[in-house]
Every structure is written in C-alpha cells, then in structure tokens.
C-alpha cells in the first residue's frame, strides 16, 4: 500500500483501557508517524512517552531533521486539533494567547482565541522569539489555561506543546529561560539520518509523487485521555521512586554543575518511566525504564558552570555520569525476571 492509498479516516479510533493495551496502541501510533519521519523510532518513542505522561516536549536539533514534520504527524495520528505558531522576533504574547476585539455590532469586546487553543500546539522555532513572548506559554503549559486582561480561559484537554528549537549557537536565536525549559518534560534530539535512512526518505518521496504524507488517525482526544489514564495505573515501587530522587540529587552535587535539576526532574523521571513501561507492555516500572528516559528528562534542567562552557561538559554528560555512579535498585529487576 502506498501513502496515497491511506485514508486518514479509514479506521475507528482506538481507546486503550489498560497498560497492556497501551503497547499495541503505541505501536500503531509510532508506525503511522514513522511513515513520515524515517528511522527515528527511539526518539519518536520518547516523544510519545512524553505525551502519554501528559507532558510537553522540546525537539531541539539542527534545521531540516524532521522536527516540524514529527509534530504534525503526531497530531494526525492522535486525532488532536492541530495549531502552529511560527515564533519570530516580532511575535507578541497576544499572538499566541488571543486577545479581546471590539465588536461594533453588539458594542462589546469579544475574545478571539489564539493558536494556543488546540489539542497539540506546534511552537515552531521557539527560540527565535524574545523571552517575553516565550514566557506567554508558561501559564498554558503549567496550568492548562491562559489569562488575558484579567480573564482566565481554559485550554482544551488533552493539551500538549511540541516545540522545536535550533541550537542556540545559531544567529538570531535566544536561549530559553530556565523556567521555560523546566516546563518541558523532555528534550529530544533526532540527529542526522544514516545514509540508508536518507536514501529511504528520497525513495518514499519519489514513490508517492507529492510532498504530503497522509497520516491515518489511530485515536482521538478521548482515546488519548484513556491511554494517559491507563499509564497512571502503572505501578512504581518505592525503590524506583527513591532511585529517581537519588539521580536528581546527584546532579546537584556534580562538580561541573552550577544548578542541578529541580524537583520537577525526579517527578518527570517517574512519570516518563511509567509511560515508557506501558509502551513496552508492562504495568510496572523497572530501573532500566528510568535509565532510558533519564537523559531526555534531566539534561535540559542542568546548568553547567560558566567557566566550563568551552569544554566538553554538558547536561547530557552529567546525566551519564550520575547514572554510572548512583546505585541501581535490585528489587524490580528480580520482579521483571519472573
């Protein structure tokens, strides 16, 4: 079957009811997204884990590596209302949240919602706009609402932000404030494709004879909410919870670190590890789940000492170091082996 043969409405939405069904659901979603984004299965699985954990994801990498395409594809596969905001130096907060406009017909001010009122918001090139506009997303990401001229407006549920960013070394970019970075559950990079994957991209484009890829809807907003509820029922042993706390604590005492991860880091480890376990078909978390997601959850929450910026020190290296130094609990390894 070719891309052109796919009908986006061909199948009924899937509604996972328990953690065991989440694995099959995730496989279908990733298969659909993988038709558009070639060869990045592990990175795409991390993004899906972030969504299932009810979080927001920052896709940070060089231009042209499929970040925007991935966001659009997830929106299509998950059946979420999609909205895109192109972040530019002159973008204003009201351009995101919406504003009140005077209606001459009834003599009142009516609220015109901005692009943030969607199931999945693509914040494209979020680091190309000044911090004032970046901060307009803080309330939306944390509280699921926006406040405009003293009036609070609830956002749709589920609500997720997939933001793309180019490396801060690129001209015309602004580093994201620490408070903004901390609201992102994960930071994921795709990296360059292999030669075989890049050839596959070319071959698929030539075969379908058009730019667009039809993504079949796997579920809808209600189905995604059900999957997220199923993830909430994944068990976390106290030893694993303490392991997450120990990992985050170790980032704060590492010699290369100016400021370590906030408590949101340990919470993010637990939440994302639960989602990863469900995607793998388990209703309990093992320490290996925490290790798989640790770099994506913690690296962007770590600030390296300024005098080390010109060295190889980085948040990712710190996470790798603490994973090697903090003792791994054994309780659930035995349970997973049964």
Q: How confident is the model at residue 331 (pLDDT cuts 50, 70, 90)?
A: low
Residue-range domains of the chain with CATH:
13-211+218-226 (3.40.50.300), 234-337 (1.10.8.80)
Q: How far apart are CA 263 and CA 123, in angstroms?
A: 25
**What is the pLDDT at residue 63?**
81
pLDDT cut 70: percent of the chain above it: 93
22-30: average pLDDT: 95
Say how far apart CA 270 and CA 53 lie, in whole Å: 9
Average pLDDT over residues 14-41: 89
Mean pLDDT of all residues belonging to the chain: 88
Between 335 and 120, residue with greater pLDDT: 120
Could you tell me how far CA 95 lies from the centroid of its own chain? 22
Average pLDDT over residues 72-82: 94
Instruction: Report, in angstroms and rounded to the nearest whole number, the Rg of the chain calculated over CA atoms.
Output: 21
How do residues 238-248 score in pLDDT, each as one tens digit? 999 999 999 99
Q: Look at 39-53, 74-88, 206-220, 258-272 and tell me which has the smallest mean pLDDT.
A: 206-220
Which pLDDT value is given to residue 295? 96
CB distance 315 to 252 below 8 Å? no
Query: What was the pLDDT predicted at 171?
Result: 67
pLDDT at 288: 95
- The residue to which tokens 């549920």 are assigned: 157
Cα–Cα distance measured from residue 22 to residue 15, given in angstroms and rounded to the nearest whole number = 9
- pLDDT score, position 85: 93
Band of pLDDT at residue 12, cut at 50, 70 and 90? low
Predicted confidence at residue 169, as pLDDT, reads 62
Confidence of residue 123 (pLDDT cuts 50, 70, 90): very high
pLDDT for 1 equals: 35
In which band, very low, low, confident or very high, does the pLDDT at 170 lie, cut at 50, 70 and 90? low
Mean pLDDT across the stretch 185-189? 95
pLDDT per residue over 283-330, tens digit each? 999 999 999 999 999 999 999 998 887 788 889 999 999 999 999 998
Question: Can you give the pLDDT at residue 5?
Answer: 41
Cα distances from 103 to residues 112, 117, 151, 171, in angstroms, run 11, 21, 18, 41
Only one residue has tokens 């003293």, namely 150
- pLDDT in the model for residue 297: 97
Per-residue confidence at 181, pLDDT binned at 50, 70, 90? confident
């Amino acid at each position: 079957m070719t891309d052109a043969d796919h009908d986006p409405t061909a199948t009924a939405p899937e509604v996972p009811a328990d953690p065991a069904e989440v694995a099959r659901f995730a496989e279908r979603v990733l298969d659909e997204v993988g038709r558009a984004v070639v060869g990045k299965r592990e990175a795409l699985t991390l993004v899906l884990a972030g969504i299932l954990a009810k979080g927001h994801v920052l896709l940070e990498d060089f231009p042209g590596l499929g970040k925007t395409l991935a966001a659009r594809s997830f929106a299509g596969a998950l059946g979420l209302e999609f909205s895109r905001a192109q972040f530019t130096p002159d973008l204003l907060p009201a351009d995101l949240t919406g504003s009140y406009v005077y209606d001459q017909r009834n003599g009142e001010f009516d609220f015109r919602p901005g692009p943030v009122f969607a199931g999945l918001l693509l914040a494209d090139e979020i680091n190309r706009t000044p911090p004032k506009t970046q901060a307009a997303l803080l309330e939306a990401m944390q509280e699921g609402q926006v406040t405009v001229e003293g009036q609070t407006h609830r956002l749709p549920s589920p609500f997720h932000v997939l933001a793309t960013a180019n490396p801060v070394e690129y001209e015309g970019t602004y580093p994201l404030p620490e408070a903004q970075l901390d609201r992102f559950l994960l930071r994921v990079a795709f990296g360059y494709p292999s030669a075989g994957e890049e050839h596959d991209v070319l071959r698929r484009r030539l075969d379908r004879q058009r730019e667009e890829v039809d993504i079949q809807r796997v579920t809808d907003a209600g189905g995604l909410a059900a999957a997220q509820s199923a993830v909430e029922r994944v068990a976390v042993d106290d030893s694993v919870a303490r392991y997450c706390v120990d990992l985050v604590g170790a980032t704060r005492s590492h010699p290369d670190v100016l400021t370590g991860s906030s408590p949101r880091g340990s919470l993010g480890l637990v939440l994302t590890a639960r989602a990863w376990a469900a995607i793998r078909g388990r209703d309990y978390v093992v320490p290996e789940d925490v290790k798989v997601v640790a770099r994506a959850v913690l690296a962007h929450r770590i600030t390296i000492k300024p005098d080390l910026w010109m060295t190889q020190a980085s948040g990712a290296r710190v996470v790798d170091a603490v994973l090697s130094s903090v003792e791994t609990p054994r309780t659930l390894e035995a349970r997973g082996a049964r």
